[in-house]
Structure 1
Amino acid sequence: MFEPEDAEEFERRKRVLLDLMNDKNYVPMKVKELAILLDIPKEKRRELKAVLDALLKDGKLSLSSKGKLGKPETFAITGTFSGHPKGFGFVTVEGRDSDVFIPGDKTRGAMHGDRVQIVIEEAEGSRRAEGCVIRVLEHANESLVGTYEKSKGFGFVIPDNQKISKDIFIPQGSDAGAVTGHKVVVKIKEFGDDKGKKPEGVITEILGHINDPGIDILSIVRAYDLPEEFPEQVMEQLKTIPDEVMPEELLARKDLRAIKTVTIDGEEAKDLDDAITLVKKENGYELGVHIADVSHYVKEHTPLDTEALKRGTSVYLTDRVIPMLPHKLSNGICSLNQGEDRLALSCLMEIDDKGMVVGHEVAETVIRVDRRMTYTAVNAVITDRNPEVMEEYREFVGMFDLMKELADILRNRRHSRGSIDFDFPESKIILDEKGHPVEIKPYERNAATRLIEDFMLLANETVAEDYFWQEVPFLYRTHDKPDEEKMKKLGTFINNFGYILRMPNGEVHPKEVQKLLDKVENTPEEALISRLTLRSMKQAKYTTLNSGHFGLAAKYYTHFTSPIRRYPDLQIHRIIKECLCGKLDDRRVSHFEKILPEVAVKTSALERRADEAERETDKMKKVQYMEQFIGQEFDGVISGVTNWGFYVELPSTVEGLVHINELRDDYYLFDELHYELIGEMTRKTYKLGQPIRVQVTGCDRFAKTIDFIPAGNVNTAR
């Protein structure tokens, strides 16, 4: 080793090594090979190692997973950094099956969502691969939302996003007058590093105090950069759009106003974008799915179109909707309101008594809805046979019964081909006038909601198949086959319960998954296996290539039925209408081929943003709701098991954590293969899907978490 008086020589040797590594002819090599190249005898190699260690620590050299030395860029791979509240993180790299662990002292100041270059320092073995960030390529967080804390002469913002582990330092004079407890938007000026320097920023907006009504959801709106107000150009364009259908707009449209037509939606829905007609024929049924012709009003390249693409989708938060289109369209001229003439794009299907579409037509139409129905009312007719409701809608009872008859046929047909139906309940959160949650319950799916789903699915499939074979540029809704390794793990796990998942040639067919779910229905392990199966699936997305929809066991699928709230539907309506009018020439084909890939990627990303914002809002309101029940007990089901404890879901859909430290009767070990915690001495187990009674012990609004412990002296584990 070099002695302290050799510091100058030490630095010289570092420069020599760096010059060597920077030589364009240098090939990465191991320490022993490097020593031979530099003609360093064995007794001096420890000194070489000391120099190399210093360069590695400073990030000026990097070590490959095979132990070879070179410039950091030589071994670098690029990915997206996901932060953890404790400071470390993981990097997801496209093409790698598993992510790379980044220790807290090797993040180089990377924040959650940043695009980074990393070097893998320890290859994947019994543990996941480990690496270090060598460069942040792109910062994901130019602005953040958080809670301001004032100190003497300065302040700091604690980010709402728990995955951003560092507070943002606010110098004196940069706080915009904020006081402790204010929810604020902070613009980051400096991003800090992993050597102790905090990110630094300036407050650009004070949203309000943390306890003010509505500020909690407004904070989420800002955090996810959800657009609220429509730009002035959009509002100006709205003035040119009529409030009712003009006579000249009916020319060349198929007139369906004389056919009995209904909409069926939730009680609170205002943007009614689909209507149904149905008549019985000698050899089957004639089903009409009529979708609001939004593209008639939202023309390509206009301010409305630009803003709709920027938003991508409507976002449904607990106390507000952030619509893709202004209310004048979504609740007005584009909404299929009862008794009003409306322009539609209709999919008219001839269906035989086995549920096969034997003929269809897609047409520009004009319709008039005879009755605006709710799921509750229709279900009262077709399921409950409620005499009062049946009398109120006596003119439509026959039609509703026919709908149920056809829907049952369609569902059975989908089931027979292998369509998978995960029936996990969604949350319905009811707020008071101050935005405080007063009730949380599962959103009810009934026969009426299912029949509308059945009809929409059929229209989406029919349209997708039609335009696939026309070989025109199009947007499809695709769902890839599950990852082979994940399905193998699932297959190994369910063998413990006596179930088999057949995977010929390593691939699983959706029918095999559906058979599994059918077999576990109404068994004690149903919740467990259903959840694990869902977690093994990939995420659906928008693509320009039709690769099918695994979950629906459909060869062709698209989103055609909701152009008021989803941009992909609006986009394909334009293509369909150009096909119908004979305007899709080579120039237009080239145009759509150019823009659709970007539309697919962008709308898929915006859909994920909306889903995350909705989930965060629900989590927040559930925490607020459960605060009143601290100390009380509830029955639930174990919904997740990890090495830090297990999650329990209550019948209301509220979920909380029983931390492993709260299991004080034994030392529990996590069995990853079987998703259970096992007591080392007692062999007591807590496993996925197991019923359990818990007591609420705490609610953290900041972290959006709920804490449980196993209730009382009841022996809830076995």
Structure 2
Amino acid sequence: MSRRFSRGRKPLATATKKRRAPGREKNISSALHASVLGLLAAQNTALNETEIARALGLSRHELVQLRAVLGQLLERRAIDKKGRRFALAAGQERLRGTLDLTAKGFGYAIPEGEQAKGGKDVYIAAHNLNGASQGDTILVAITGSGRSHREGRVIQILQRAVTQICGIFTASGAGGYVTPDDDRFPATLLIRRNDTLAAGDGMAVMAEIVDYGSERQGPCGRIVELLGDARTASVQIRMAVLQGGLRERFPAEVDAEAAGLQPVAACDEGRQDLRHLPHVTIDGETARDFDDAICVERSGDQFVLYVSIADVSHYVRTGSAIDREAYLRGTSVYLPDRVLPMLPERLSNDLCSLVPDQDRPAFTAILRFDATGRRIGERYTKSLIRSRQRFTYTTINRLLYLNEPQARAVHHELVPMLEQASTLTELLKKRRLARGSLEFNIPEPEVTLAGETVAAISLAERNRAHMLIEDCMLAANEAVAETLAKARHPVLYRIHEYPDPAKLEVFTDAAKALGFRLPQSEVNPAWFAQVIEQARNSSAEYIVNNLLLRTMQQARYSPENNGHFGLAAPYYLHFTSPIRRYPDLVAHRVLANLLSGHAPDHARPVSAKTADLGEAGIHLSQCERKAIDVERNAHARCSCLLLMDRVGEIFAAIISGVTAFGLYVTLDDSYISGMVPLTSMTDDYYLHDSRRYRLIGEASNRMYQLGDRVLVRLEQVDFSAKRLAFSLAPR
């Protein structure tokens, strides 16, 4: 019997024994296949039948089945036989990888070193997992190839990724069990009476896995931490953090090293004094770390843009305890009730934060533009700056774009500089759009908490002030990337490759189904820009932007400069946020190396133990993906908390996806997503038209199509899966 069983079922150790049904022999054999292959893969010498049975703990009556399995493996040439001994077949392709499980029980092995090179993942059926769990490092034998993926089986678990899981505790007479909070871990964890830590029934807990189980018995463990009430915001958000495996606390040596850092008191040799310039920072209302400041001067028909970035590299030396920890984290993670910073607060909120009226070391890009916004010169310098004002996007919008007299009067000394910045960034944006840079318009949901409850989820405000600062940062990132590329100094570029052709075909079908006339030109960034512009302010704008975003490849970090498709930029990297992104710190170090006149290999830009930029690019891209996944996970949990007491209510929504299983909908006010299962649409038998993204009633000819406005009733809030189920409501 497989150790994986459905959520909510009693743990295997407490289930009633039943005689094995004849129809289940195939499943048992499949599991035994994986066990035999895993055993033989781990051996240096061949084993006979008795040794295999003993190693796998098989009983005498299971020997017949073992012989059958060995015969099947021989027929498939997965193993070799010499005399009476068996060994893994010579020449069978094997690879190391990381297991990514799905909620449906099967998984994919992500090959080591191939992810950044476009290598295809390896499909692994549930019966070929050989006991492997989410995130495990595994050895996989390739068994064949399908249409889009290679296929394989786990022959050895090299390293367990998960030793602890969070979940909900259910008490029982023998102790209880923990139902994992992550549906990629469908096996419940048996907890014996002395290992419950006095957890209450229904409490959220963290449990340590003591035994991963076998074919006959499920896993067991012990509770190591009581997390609290699972229906409170702080507990749900922390469960997202724990599920994502993020680092919550800094090691003692990192805190000690940060505490010993001293602020820069004056300009040291080689640092340019720019304190006379009226630098300002522009961020959101809740921002605490200010890592970029700008200033714009105008001379005749030319502009000079100063983009001054916190000089994190001054404090964080390569290979130091802070640097090693920052590399492991890769990025800061922003959640509704907390921030998990890449750097200790001593740096992120103090020494490196460009707070007003304080001298701060910076790295400044001095960029010169002509009257059309074309960059005609660039220079870089280590500097000392003094921010004049901490502006918010709201204030800048009121001051520059709403022209509110009171706001302009309060900040009258800085208004001329800000107006020059606005003029320049309009020119920069115009040039960027002309070359085909994409301007997605996808609202970002923002969670508002009131103590332990989710008070609201609304759309984050985005105005022209956001675009002003973004265009300044884009200009600096492009300039630094081009400078380092032409100087041939290896660095981590931010690359964004051409969309996947299969996804592009899916998008074109969907866009035509929505009634859009697609450009008849070459598919390039300008082509996408035309589609976005055609959808602007239409009822389908959200759908089109979302579909386009899904069509795109994921941007990533790489030492190979392949350009940035979405920005239509031949050179691009991240330079402007070293407080919260490690690749930016790498760029600072490489640029400093160039300015000092040293050879490209003079100093390592990443932690001493990870000198290879290719490996660093893969790791830091994975850190970014993990952060995004946790942020989405936390949002899904908050969505469930917000709606858990609103079952039965009716909401206005848009159909954002159509599948053979039902309709995906997005609520108008909050942009919370859920599904209308086809099983709930009982008024007719609906046929799925995949090419036109619609469901059509066979008898009534009633049609539900991508982009349609509908009313939906909330039917279920599934906390375990973090999903919302709706039904269609009559208008």
TM range (shorter): 0.7 to 0.9
Bigger drift between 547-556 and 324-333 goes to: 324-333
Matched residues in 2 for 1:459 and 1:590: separation? Answer: 20
Matched residues in 2 for 1:201 and 1:153: separation? Answer: 13
1:256-655 alignment, distance < 5 Å = 256-433=274-451, 435-496=452-513, 497=515, 499-500=517-518, 508-584=523-599, 586-588=601-603, 594-651=611-668, 652-655=670-673
Structure 2 counterpart of 1:254: 272
Larger RCO, structure (CA 8 Å, separation 6 or more): 2
Question: Within the alignment, does 1:215 sit opposite 2:232 as a pair?
Answer: no
Matched residues in 1 for 2:446 and 2:516: separation? Answer: 36
- SS state at 1:237 partner: helix
- SS state at 2:185 partner: coil
Question: Within the alignment, does 1:665 sit opposite 2:683 as a pair?
Answer: yes
TM-score (norm 1): 0.84
- SS state at 2:586 partner: helix
Structure 2 counterpart of 1:174: 195
* 1:381-433 deviation digits (Å, cap 9, x = unpaired): 22211222122222222222222221111111111111112221111111012
Matched residues in 1 for 2:648 and 2:352: separation? Answer: 50
The CA deviation at 1:581 is 2.3
- Write the letter of the residue equivalent to 1:675: Y
Question: Within the alignment, does 1:110 sit opposite 2:129 as a pair?
Answer: no
* Change in 2 beyond 3 A, CA 1:219/1:563: same
The CA deviation at 1:102 is 4.9
Structure 2 counterpart of 1:151: 172
Matched residues in 2 for 1:73 and 1:671: separation? Answer: 48
Bigger drift between 372-381 and 636-645 goes to: 636-645
* Change in 2 beyond 3 A, CA 1:519/1:56: farther
- Write the letter of the residue equivalent to 1:517: I
Matched residues in 2 for 1:331 and 1:648: separation? Answer: 40
* Change in 2 beyond 3 A, CA 1:201/1:74: farther
- SS state at 1:161 partner: coil
Of 698, 715, 718, the residue aligned with 1:680 is 698
Matched residues in 2 for 1:137 and 1:629: separation? Answer: 46
Matched residues in 1 for 2:614 and 2:151: separation? Answer: 34
- Write the letter of the residue equivalent to 1:149: T
Runs of 5+ unmatched residues, structure 2: 1-35, 41-63, 79-86
* 1:274-307 deviation digits (Å, cap 9, x = unpaired): 0110112212211110001111111122111111
Of 232, 249, 261, the residue aligned with 1:241 is 261
- Write the letter of the residue equivalent to 2:69: L
- SS state at 1:279 partner: strand
Bigger drift between 380-389 and 555-564 goes to: 380-389
Q: Does the 8 Å CA contact 2:443/2:460 hold for their aligned counterparts?
A: yes
- SS state at 1:148 partner: strand
1:70-219 alignment, distance < 5 Å = 78=95, 80-90=98-108, 102-116=124-138, 124=146, 133-193=154-214, 195-211=215-231, 214-219=234-239
- SS state at 1:637 partner: strand
Q: Does the 8 Å CA contact 2:717/2:723 hold for their aligned counterparts?
A: yes
Matched residues in 1 for 2:71 and 2:630: separation? Answer: 39
The CA deviation at 1:515 is 1.6
Matched residues in 2 for 1:61 and 1:185: separation? Answer: 45
- Write the letter of the residue equivalent to 1:245: V
Cα RMSD for the two superposed structures: 3.0
- Write the letter of the residue equivalent to 2:677: H
* Change in 2 beyond 3 A, CA 1:551/1:73: farther
* 1:524-560 deviation digits (Å, cap 9, x = unpaired): 4433333222111111111111111111111010100
Structure 2 counterpart of 1:691: 709
- SS state at 2:603 partner: helix
Matched residues in 1 for 2:545 and 2:240: separation? Answer: 31
* 1:303-358 deviation digits (Å, cap 9, x = unpaired): 11111112111111110011111112111121111111111100011111211110
Matched residues in 2 for 1:189 and 1:60: separation? Answer: 35
- SS state at 1:277 partner: strand
Matched residues in 2 for 1:76 and 1:211: separation? Answer: 48
Matched residues in 2 for 1:614 and 1:110: separation? Answer: 26
Matched residues in 2 for 1:292 and 1:323: separation? Answer: 15
Matched residues in 1 for 2:468 and 2:454: separation? Answer: 31
The CA deviation at 1:578 is 2.3
* 1:81-134 deviation digits (Å, cap 9, x = unpaired): 443434344556668987666554443333233344556778646x98876555
Matched residues in 2 for 1:548 and 1:106: separation? Answer: 39
The CA deviation at 1:476 is 0.8
- Write the letter of the residue equivalent to 2:404: N
**How many residues end up aligned between the 2 structures?**
654
The CA deviation at 1:73 is 7.5
- SS state at 1:703 partner: coil
Matched residues in 2 for 1:73 and 1:391: separation? Answer: 80
Bigger drift between 666-675 and 263-272 goes to: 666-675
The CA deviation at 1:56 is 6.8
Bigger drift between 336-345 and 141-150 goes to: 141-150
- Write the letter of the residue equivalent to 2:305: L
Q: Does the 8 Å CA contact 2:444/2:459 hold for their aligned counterparts?
A: yes
- SS state at 1:441 partner: strand
TM-score (norm 2): 0.83
The CA deviation at 1:188 is 2.3
What's the % identity of the aligned pairs? 36
Matched residues in 2 for 1:319 and 1:209: separation? Answer: 16
Matched residues in 2 for 1:80 and 1:60: separation? Answer: 28
* Change in 2 beyond 3 A, CA 1:210/1:687: same
Matched residues in 1 for 2:464 and 2:280: separation? Answer: 16
* 1:136-161 deviation digits (Å, cap 9, x = unpaired): 44433222221222222242211111
Matched residues in 1 for 2:118 and 2:685: separation? Answer: 35
Structure 2 counterpart of 1:55: 69
- SS state at 1:661 partner: helix
Structure 2 counterpart of 1:27: none
The CA deviation at 1:685 is 2.4
Matched residues in 1 for 2:675 and 2:223: separation? Answer: 34
Q: Does the 8 Å CA contact 1:381/1:400 hold for their aligned counterparts?
A: no
- SS state at 1:173 partner: helix
